[in-house]
């Protein structure tokens, strides 16, 4: 082990304070009315619907209807489209194609919506009304107007299927439409009349595309491509095809599984939990400093680093770590990790104390303490990692990495219909990781360095005899 | 130094009595399964003034045609809790809400939260949770087996696992005793306690191994175990103490502010943590010594040799 200098303490300490401050406040600039967020802070944390209030619903096709994977994905895209149309962007949608389930979680759009959760749920699951309309005239609120309102070319039932394909000539992605014979007749008539003009595609009252008719299409197979200036990406073509299919679904989504939470309750619950977190942190610090003196102070600084770690892990602080929904059990997981997180510091401080009493020097005691304490710390964390992974795998969305990891054991079960515990598993796991980083590595660096300071070289400050 | 080995009979009795009482308790009062697992509906309304739950029951029964129970709680927000055995369709929930609001116009009825779970999905979720517990236990046992190969072998590992089941049972007992419905919180708490509790045990067995090397032939096993428990005592108590401290804070804050979902999480967690320290110190170690001595006795009887020179009960430390 390299000898650490006095400066190490300040470097590590400054780093922890930097992480704590930036993770909490984020980094953003305000220029006039525009705020540019460079690094997300605690204000950007996405709270679960048990805190913000909202709806958690599991949609299925009606009993006895076995939907294909494509139909489920089409239904999913209809739901997403509707959420976006309602200006709800902070939703979570998971589709389980083997069990034919779509789990949707979304917060309330406004106060009025929370008064009528039944309406919100019903609107999402309703059969989508897909229309192809003449022109692309929209009024100020985006609804069809004029000829576009009056002249419907074809509807969802006229579409057999839509798929994203690659054009063999241009190699650009495009959407291929297959129409029923009646649909083909109507579409043929309209496209003959409207060459050079747009035909817009609508889901409910939202325009999702407005391609221009290039030539009359009478054969019942139409293709929609992006403009020459801005061709479709494969993703855009797939999205559009899914949406069109969603409007042509032969079933309506039903639900017997839904819950809603009013917006008022959760926020108070969150605030009280954050208060609990603060009190818990202060009490643990007071205990550690009183009981273990200098190592206790180091443990408190390390805990601050662990705090920052939690915020970083959920807020999307680092661009490559996606933000994570934090629920009430998730906050409880953070509090728990604060309490159990000092374990690493407790184990080593106890060992340091023992070595000091056995007559070792402060440096020797610190080194031996960390060396001898490590196996116990490691063991403790392995079992918690096992538990955290199982929790995340069984309560998380079925598409998550953890769920896939558990597939050999959980394949016969669908996605969990409740999501609050997933967040608990996550904070538990993050707690373990930062326990290693802060409770072991950072603490060791700081303790070795701080023990070089003149006033802090007395063994009693480390638990030795006075 | 505290003589843990000498009082082992008291500890075993305490644990057995608590387990017996909670088993009897759960048979008499039943185990409440949350609607998450058994399916059904639970809808909460806030109300003002005074309201008669029987009247509400009548209105809801008429609106839904289901057998219903209505309770009320008073606090910051007065709550009306409507529980139904089956999940409601969206239309019937709407109808029910409208009917209640119409029947009690002066009570200012507002829907707070509702939860509807389809019975078959609930059962499936329950099965999934059980598999999760089984899987976690299995992985922990494998890990323990791997770790204990060095420390005390299979028998030590087995005793550690018994202590684990002891703790998981205490969490269950806490849920039945407080009449909290068994839900996803239960699963989370049981798994967390499994994860935390085994650590303490590993730390103590680790110490036993270290001390065996030092005192191997000079001291009795019981003495070594007792010494090891005492040496790790401060650490066990301080770590669990911090854990307990933060959970007690959480529990109190949740109780004052009426955050039920966290209260039903933190309170059983506290019981599990206490049980975790207790089982590590008072059950896992002493039980192992009992087992080792029993084996030694059997072995010496088989080989026809003399009785083992001491039985642990007599040792004075």
Asked whether residue B276 is domain-assigned, the answer is yes
Asked whether residue B131 is domain-assigned, the answer is yes
Asked whether residue B1 is domain-assigned, the answer is no
Look at residue A453 and tell me whether its pLDDT is greater than 50. yes
Asked whether residue B3 is domain-assigned, the answer is no
| Closest CA–CA distance from residue B260 to any residue of chain A (Å) | 9
A380-384 contacts: CB < 8 A, separation 24 or more?
A380/A343, A380/B196, A380/B199, A380/B202, A380/B203, A381/A432, A381/A435, A381/A436, A382/B143, A383/B140, A383/B143, A383/B194, A383/B195, A383/B196, A383/B198, A383/B199, A384/A340, A384/A428, A384/A431, A384/A432, A384/B192, A384/B195, A384/B196, A384/B199
| Res B309: pLDDT | 46
Q: Which member of A332, A388, A416 has the closest CB to residue B265?
A: A332
Contact A410 B128 (CB under 8 A): yes
Domain count, chain B: 2
C-alpha to C-alpha distance for A178 and A195, rounded to whole angstroms:
20
Q: Which of residues 235-274 of B touch A (CB under 8 A)?
A: 235, 238-239, 241-247, 249-250, 253-254, 256-257, 259, 261-262, 265-266, 269
Structural domain including B73 reads 40-117
Same domain for B237 and B90: no
DSSP at A160: E
pLDDT-derived band at B152 (thresholds 50, 70, 90) equals low
CATH 1.20.1640.10 fits A6-44+262-462, yes or no: yes
Average pLDDT over residues A242-267: 82
Spell out which residues of chain B touch residue A291, defining contact as CB-CB under 8 Å: 238
Express each pLDDT in A336-359 by its tens digit.
888 888 888 888 888 888 888 888
Contact A383 B234 (CB under 8 A): no
Spell out which residues of chain A touch residue B127, defining contact as CB-CB under 8 Å: 413
Express each pLDDT in B258-277 by its tens digit.
888 899 999 999 999 999 99
**CATH number of the domain residue B298 falls in:** 1.20.1640.10
Same domain for B235 and B155: yes
Express each pLDDT in B88-128 by its tens digit.
888 888 889 999 999 998 888 888 888 899 888 888 889 98
End residue of a domain, out of B86, B117, B148: B117
Same domain for B158 and B101: no
C-alpha to C-alpha distance for A60 and B162, rounded to whole angstroms:
43
End residue of a domain, out of B82, B117, B152: B117
Asked whether residue B112 is domain-assigned, the answer is yes
CA B309 to chain centre: 41
Asked whether residue B2 is domain-assigned, the answer is no
Same domain for B295 and B194: yes
pLDDT-derived band at B317 (thresholds 50, 70, 90) equals very low
Spell out which residues of chain A touch residue B115, defining contact as CB-CB under 8 Å: 258-259
| Res B63: pLDDT | 86
A286-290, A343-347, B74-78, B149-153: the lowest-pLDDT one: B149-153
Please state the φ and ψ torsions of residue A296, each to the nearest 5 degrees.
-70, -40
Same domain for B20 and B163: yes
Same domain for B126 and B80: no
Look at residue A394 and tell me whether its pLDDT is greater than 70. yes
| Closest CA–CA distance from residue B23 to any residue of chain A (Å) | 26
Q: Which member of B90, B194, B246 has the closest CB to residue A255?
A: B90
C-alpha to C-alpha distance for A133 and A240, rounded to whole angstroms:
16
CATH code of the domain made up of A130-247: 3.30.1360.200
pLDDT-derived band at B231 (thresholds 50, 70, 90) equals confident
Burial class, A262, CB count within 10 angstroms (exposed 0-12 / middle 13-18 / buried 19+): buried
Would you kindly state where each structural domain of chain A is located, as residue ranges? Answer: 6-44+262-462, 54-127+252-260, 130-247
Look at residue B314 and tell me whether its pLDDT is greater than 70. no
Spell out which residues of chain A touch residue B184, defining contact as CB-CB under 8 Å: 395, 416, 418, 420-421
End residue of a domain, out of B61, B94, B117: B117
3-state helix, strand and coil shares in percent for chain B, rounded to the nearest 5 = 70, 10, 20
Same domain for B217 and B145: yes
Q: Is the ipTM of this complex over 0.90?
A: no
CB atoms within 10 A of CB A230: 8
Q: What is the mean pLDDT of chain B?
A: 86
C-alpha to C-alpha distance for A381 and B55, rounded to whole angstroms:
54
First-residue to last-residue Cα distance in chain B: 8
Same domain for B279 and B232: yes
Look at residue A417 and tell me whether its pLDDT is greater than 70. no
Average pLDDT over residues A170-189: 89
Express each pLDDT in B287-300 by its tens digit.
988 988 888 888 88
CATH code of the domain made up of A54-127+252-260: 3.30.70.3220
Same domain for B157 and B71: no
CB atoms within 10 A of CB B177: 17
Same domain for B134 and B257: yes
Q: Which of residues 100-129 of B touch A (CB under 8 A)?
A: 110-118, 121-122, 124-125, 127-129
Same domain for B171 and B62: no
Same domain for B147 and B62: no
Please tell me if residue B181 touches chain A, with a CB cutoff of 8 Å: no
């Amino acid at each position: 082990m390299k000898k650490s200098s006095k400066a190490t303490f300040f470097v590590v300490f400054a780093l922890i304070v930097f992480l704590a401050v930036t993770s909490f406040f984020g980094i953003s600039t305000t220029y006039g009315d525009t705020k540019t967020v460079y690094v997300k802070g605690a204000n950007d944390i996405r709270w679960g619907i048990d805190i913000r209030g909202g709806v958690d619903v599991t949609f299925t096709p009606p009993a006895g209807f076995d939907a294909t994977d494509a139909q489920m994905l089409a239904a999913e895209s209809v739901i997403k489209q509707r959420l976006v149309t309602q200006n709800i962007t902070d939703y979570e949608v998971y589709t389980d194609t083997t069990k034919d389930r779509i789990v949707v979680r979304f917060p309330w759009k406004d106060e009025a919506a929370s008064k009528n959760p039944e309406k919100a749920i019903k609107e999402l699951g309703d059969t989508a009304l897909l229309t192809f309309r003449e022109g692309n005239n929209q009024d100020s609120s985006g609804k069809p107007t004029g000829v576009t309102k009056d002249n419907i070319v074809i509807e969802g039932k006229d579409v057999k299927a839509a798929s994203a394909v690659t054009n063999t000539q241009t190699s650009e992605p495009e959407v291929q439409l297959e129409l029923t014979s009646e649909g083909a007749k109507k579409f043929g008539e309209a496209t003959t009349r409207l060459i050079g003009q747009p035909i817009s595609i609508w889901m409910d009252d939202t325009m999702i595309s407005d391609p221009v008719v290039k030539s009359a299409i009478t054969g019942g197979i139409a293709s929609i491509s992006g403009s020459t200036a801005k061709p479709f990406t494969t993703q855009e073509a797939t999205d559009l095809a899914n949406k069109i299919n969603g409007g042509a679904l032969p079933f309506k989504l039903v639900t017997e599984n839904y819950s809603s939470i009013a917006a008022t309750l959760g926020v108070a619950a969150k605030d009280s939990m954050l208060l609990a977190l603060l009190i818990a942190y202060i009490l643990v610090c007071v205990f550690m400093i009183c009981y273990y003196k200098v190592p206790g102070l180091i443990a408190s600084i390390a805990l601050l680093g662990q705090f920052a770690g939690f915020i970083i892990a959920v807020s999307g602080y680092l661009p490559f770590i996606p933000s994570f929904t934090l629920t009430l059990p998730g906050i409880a997981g953070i509090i728990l990790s604060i309490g159990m997180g000092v374990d690493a510091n407790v184990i080593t401080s106890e060992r340091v104390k023992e070595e000091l009493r056995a007559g070792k020097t402060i440096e020797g005691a610190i080194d031996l303490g960390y060396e001898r304490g490590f196996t116990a710390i490691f063991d403790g964390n392995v079992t918690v990692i096992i538990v955290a992974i199982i929790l995340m795998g069984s309560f998380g969305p079925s598409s998550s990495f953890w769920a896939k990891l558990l597939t050999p054991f959980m394949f016969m079960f669908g996605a969990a219909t409740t999501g609050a515990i997933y967040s608990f598993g996550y904070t538990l796991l993050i707690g373990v990781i930062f326990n290693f980083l802060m409770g072991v590595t950072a603490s060791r660096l700081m303790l070795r360095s701080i023990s070089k300071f003149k006033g802090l070289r007395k063994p009693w400050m480390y638990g030795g005899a006075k | 130094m505290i003589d843990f080995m000498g009082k082992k009979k008291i500890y075993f009795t305490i644990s057995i009595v608590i387990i017996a009482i909670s088993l009897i308790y759960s048979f008499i009062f039943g185990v409440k399964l949350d609607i998450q697992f058994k399916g059904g509906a639970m809808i909460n309304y806030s109300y003002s003034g005074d309201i008669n739950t029987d009247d509400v029951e009548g209105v809801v029964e008429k609106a839904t045609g289901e057998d219903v129970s209505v309770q009320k709680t008073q606090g910051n927000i007065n709550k009306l809790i409507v529980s139904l055995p089956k999940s409601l369709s969206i239309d019937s929930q709407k109808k029910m809400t409208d009917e209640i609001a119409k029947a009690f116009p002066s009570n200012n009825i507002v829907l707070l939260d509702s939860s509807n779970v389809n019975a078959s999905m609930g059962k499936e979720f329950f099965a999934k949770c059980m598999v999760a517990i089984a899987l976690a236990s299995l992985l922990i046992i494998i890990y323990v087996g791997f770790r204990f190969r060095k420390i005390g072998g299979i028998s030590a590992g087995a005793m550690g696992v018994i202590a684990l089941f002891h703790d998981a049972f205490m969490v269950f007992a806490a849920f039945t005793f407080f009449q909290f419905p068994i839900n996803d919180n239960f699963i989370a708490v049981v798994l967390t306690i499994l994860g935390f509790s085994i650590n303490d045990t590993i730390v103590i067995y680790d110490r036993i191994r270290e001390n065996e090397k030092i005192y191997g032939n000079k001291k009795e096993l019981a003495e070594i175990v007792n010494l090891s428990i005492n040496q790790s005592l401060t650490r066990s108590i301080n770590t669990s103490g911090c854990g307990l401290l933060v959970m007690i804070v959480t529990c109190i804050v949740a109780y004052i502010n009426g955050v039920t979902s966290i209260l039903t999480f933190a309170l059983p967690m506290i019981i599990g943590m206490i049980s975790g320290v207790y089982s590590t110190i008072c059950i896992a170690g002493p039980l192992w010594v009992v087992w080792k001595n029993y084996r030694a006795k059997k072995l010496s009887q088989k080989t026809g040799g003399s009785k083992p020179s001491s039985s642990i009960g007599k040792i004075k430390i």
